[in-house]
Structure 1
Amino acid sequence: MGTVFDTAIVNGTIVLENQAVKGTLLIQDGKIAGILDSHSRVDSRKQIDAEGMVILPGAIDPHVHLWEPSPQDYREDYNCGSKAAASGGVTTLIEMPLSVPPVIDRESFQLKKEIADRNSLIDFALWGGLIPKSADNLSEMHKLGCVGYKAFMSYANENYPHTPDDVLYRAMKNAARFNGLIGVHAENADIVEAAGREMEQSGNLNPESYPDGRPALAELEAMERAILLAENTGCRLHIVHMTVAEGGEMVRKAKEKGIRVSNETCPHYLLFDKSILKEKGPFAKCNPPIRSLENKEGLWEQIFKGNIDFIGSDHSPYTDEEKLAGKDNIWQAWPGFGGIDVLLPAMISEGVNARGLGLVELAKLVSTNVAKIFELYPKKGTITVGSDADLAIVDLNQEWVYQGEHSFSKTKSSQGIYEGYKFKGKVMATMVRGTVVYENGKITEESTYGEFVPIQR
């Protein structure tokens, strides 16, 4: 008698690393056990008919802010954030360390991991924090399994302060010793601080003026500076939430010189231009800001040229009250908004359907490249025999309108940046390690299901 598999997904289009094929996907013990053609007959305890659907490797969101632990317990947490992620086809989230306390040593790492173990529906990995007092603790966090170490080249906040150049340089030298990854929020701190303060003091308080207070020059200068430091130290460098199209060419040229640098951009920079600030006001405020229509088109050009490695949501929702603090003065609104549940739908809608992005390229941008750069591959990020059966089953053609009240996010704003946006392409089901955690609008598994994923070395 032959093997009886746990699950067989039949009749779907399976997106592999080099092609998309119609076939049958077999799952056993949470792993991909086989990829067969459509005519093969197999025995399985459960069968999922994916006729007309596309089966993608589950998205990996590399840029997620969850405020737990934190005094701001009214903001996004693991329970709600991970459910929102699953509804958008995200099977692994990588959390940025902005919570209080940030992840900067063994104690804060264990606190964060225990909270996530208890409350995450999907699998998770953790960034470590790079602030002045943790610059010499990176090897400890590396041994604990952190995927990288995030620094603000801009000014941040009292719990997560700006990392001066001398500290960043020292941290890069430390990280290079164990092949660690340094991630940077690349904006020149002094330029954006002075420009924003001058605009506010002069009475320029309109939302549509906000990008002028954080100019593209500040981002490009900081990127160039970080790349120079990475070249000198031999450190691996990642540019988070890159907004400036010219940055893609800068990264390409650095790679050609042998510098180990990668970059990401976000769905909101690809769907919107700065006119959304006039429409949505403080609900469209983020750092770095959404820029011009020409820049948006330039980012898409960089994607098609292969000069952007992957997409991250920069999921950081705030309450309506925190956003409306900037109703009459955009400088007073908190910067950021949710987006983990639209990362994959946005790339399908605007990338695949509107611009002809290939399915293989899509999978690289939302999953495979993330897993490789953050050293989670091949456990994550690919549909390959032996890899975790993390899957997003999507209908490329289904149209739907985003409504915050229906999101699983803790912040259910009806004024958010995505509110009312019409997408073409919908996640129908999400599987984590072979288990369906989301299907047809409903969470189908306990929120303790997620597991910690350390770097795979």
Structure 2
Amino acid sequence: MGNIYDTSIVNGTIVLEEQVVKGTIVIQDGRIAGILDENSTVESQKIIDAAGMVVFPGAIDPHVHLWEPSPQDYREDYKYGSKAAASGGVTTLIEMPLSVPPVIDSESFYLKKEIGDKNSVVDFALWGGLIPNSVDNLGEMHELGCVGYKAFISYANENYPHTPDDVLYKAMKNAANFNGLVGVHAENADIVETESKDMEQRGILNPESYPDGRPALAELEAMKRAILLAEKTNCRLHIVHMSVGEGGEIVRKAKEKGINVSNETCPHYLLFDKSILKEKGPFAKCNPPIRSLENKEALWEQIFKGNIDFIGSDHSPYTDKEKLEGKDNIWKAFPGFGGIDVLLPAMISEGVNARGLGLVELAKMISTNVAKTFELYPKKGAIKIGSDADLVLVDLNEEWVYKGENSFSKTKSSQGIYEGYNFKGKVVATMSRGTVVYENGEILEESTYGKFVPIQR
């Protein structure tokens, strides 16, 4: 008598690292134990019929803000944010370090980790903070398992100050000693600060003018500067939430020179152009801003050329009250919005169904490339024997309309950027380490299920 597995997923279309196959996935002790052809017969305690569905590796969102711990945790926290993640097919979220206190040493790291362990439905990894007073702590955070170190080249806030060039240079030299990854918010601080204030003082307050205050030039200059520093220090570099299509070519050329640099863009830059600012006002404000229709198409061109490594949601909810502070003056609105629950549906709807993006290419962009960049592979990021059974069952053809009131997020805006958006392609079920945590609109596991995932050494 053969093995009796914990779970079998049968009749699905399975997206592997290099091909798409029809077959069966067998799971034992939370890991993938086998990938069998569609005619194979196995015994399992539980059988999941995936007929008519595509089975993707669980999405890994590299850019998540949950605001916990901080006085602003009313916007989002691990309990609600991780449920939203599960509903969107995200099985591992990588959280940014901008809590209060930020994750800049062992004490703040363990504070954040304990909160995630107690409250996350899905697995999570942690960015470490790169601010002026944490530069000498990067090695310590590496030993604790942080995946990278986030710096703002632009101005940030009083709790998470801007990283000037000399500090970034020193940090990159330090990180290079242990092959650490430095991530940058790439906008020239002085350009965007001066341009934005000048426009506000001149009374240009309408939402659709917002991108002019944070021009593409500021982003491109900051990218090139960071890449030059990475080249000279031999440091691994990641460009977060790249909004400019031209940036893809900059990264491609850097890679051709042997510089170890990666980049991400976000669903909102791929679904919308700056006209959404006129429609949604402050609810569509983010940094960097959503740009022109031509720029949106340029980003898609870079995706199909392979010059964008992966997708991150930049999930950063604010309340309606906070957003409406910019109702009559766009410069006063808080920048950001939620989106972790639409990361995968957005790419299926607009990428696969509307533009013909391949399923293998999509799986790399939402999972495999992320796992490899942040050193979580092969535990995470692929459907392969021995990897965690993090899987997403998707109906590519189901059409649905996003409504904030149905989101699991703590902030349920009825005016948000995705409100009323028509998607084609829906997450049916999400499985984390062999356990179904979300299915057909319901969370099936407690908030203690998620585990911290350190870098894989």
- The answer to whether the superposition gives a TM-score over 0.5 is yes
Aligned: 1:11 with 2:15: no
Displacement of 1:360 in angstroms is 0.2
Partners of 2:132 and 2:167 within 8 A in 1: yes
Q: Secondary structure at the match of 2:326?
A: coil
Alignment of 1:359-438 (within 5 A): 359-438=359-438
Aligned: 1:59 with 2:39: no
Match of 2:451 in 1: 451
Unaligned runs of 5+ in 2: none
Match of 1:355 in 2: 355
Q: Secondary structure at the match of 1:136?
A: helix
Alignment deviations for residues 414-437 of structure 1 (CA, whole Å, 9 cap, x no partner): 000000000000000000000000
**Hey, what's the Cα distance between the residues in 1 that align with 2:222 and 2:391?**
36
Displacement of 1:72 in angstroms is 1.4
Q: Secondary structure at the match of 1:18?
A: coil
Q: Secondary structure at the match of 2:108?
A: helix
**Hey, what's the Cα distance between the residues in 1 that align with 2:387 and 2:69?**
31
Partners of 2:27 and 2:34 within 8 A in 1: yes
What is the identity, as a one-letter code, of the residue corresponding to 2:113? K
Alignment of 1:169-248 (within 5 A): 169-248=169-248
Match of 2:335 in 1: 335
Alignment deviations for residues 150-208 of structure 1 (CA, whole Å, 9 cap, x no partner): 00000000000000000000000000000000000000000000000000011000000
Aligned: 1:162 with 2:166: no
Displacement of 1:139 in angstroms is 0.1
Q: Secondary structure at the match of 1:376?
A: coil
Match of 2:278 in 1: 278
Match of 2:250 in 1: 250
Displacement of 1:403 in angstroms is 0.1
Displacement of 1:228 in angstroms is 0.2
**Hey, what's the Cα distance between the residues in 2 that align with 1:165 and 1:300?**
31
What is the identity, as a one-letter code, of the residue corresponding to 1:160? Y
Displacement of 1:75 in angstroms is 1.1
Partners of 2:283 and 2:323 within 8 A in 1: yes
Q: Secondary structure at the match of 2:205?
A: coil
Displacement of 1:143 in angstroms is 0.2
**Hey, what's the Cα distance between the residues in 2 that align with 1:455 and 1:360?**
24
What is the identity, as a one-letter code, of the residue corresponding to 1:232? K
**Hey, what's the Cα distance between the residues in 1 that align with 2:426 and 2:154?**
36
**Hey, what's the Cα distance between the residues in 2 that align with 1:454 and 1:242?**
25
**Hey, what's the Cα distance between the residues in 2 that align with 1:72 and 1:234?**
37
**Hey, what's the Cα distance between the residues in 2 that align with 1:2 and 1:21?**
24
Match of 1:319 in 2: 319
Alignment deviations for residues 11-63 of structure 1 (CA, whole Å, 9 cap, x no partner): 00000000010001100000000001111110000000000000000000000
**Hey, what's the Cα distance between the residues in 2 that align with 1:438 and 1:94?**
19
Displacement of 1:73 in angstroms is 2.6
Q: Secondary structure at the match of 1:146?
A: coil
**Hey, what's the Cα distance between the residues in 1 that align with 2:448 and 2:341?**
19
Match of 2:269 in 1: 269
Match of 2:122 in 1: 122
Q: Secondary structure at the match of 1:282?
A: helix
Displacement of 1:74 in angstroms is 1.1
Partners of 2:400 and 2:423 within 8 A in 1: yes
**Hey, what's the Cα distance between the residues in 1 that align with 2:74 and 2:444?**
25
- Please, what TM-score do these two structures have when normalized by structure 1? 1.00
What is the identity, as a one-letter code, of the residue corresponding to 1:408? F
Q: CA RMSD in A?
A: 0.3
Alignment of 1:26-37 (within 5 A): 26-37=26-37
Alignment of 1:273-312 (within 5 A): 273-312=273-312
Alignment deviations for residues 117-147 of structure 1 (CA, whole Å, 9 cap, x no partner): 0000000000000000001110000000000
Match of 1:69 in 2: 69
Q: Secondary structure at the match of 1:283?
A: helix
Displacement of 1:245 in angstroms is 0.5
**Hey, what's the Cα distance between the residues in 2 that align with 1:94 and 1:19?**
27
What is the identity, as a one-letter code, of the residue corresponding to 1:84? A
Q: Please list every run of at least 4 consecutive aligned residues from structure 1 whose deviation after the TM superposition is greater than 4 angstroms.
A: none
Unaligned runs of 5+ in 1: none
Tell me the percent identity: 85
Partners of 2:148 and 2:374 within 8 A in 1: yes
**Hey, what's the Cα distance between the residues in 2 that align with 1:41 and 1:103?**
49
Q: Secondary structure at the match of 1:350?
A: helix
**Hey, what's the Cα distance between the residues in 2 that align with 1:115 and 1:336?**
23
Match of 2:95 in 1: 95
Q: Secondary structure at the match of 1:135?
A: helix
Partners of 2:66 and 2:73 within 8 A in 1: no
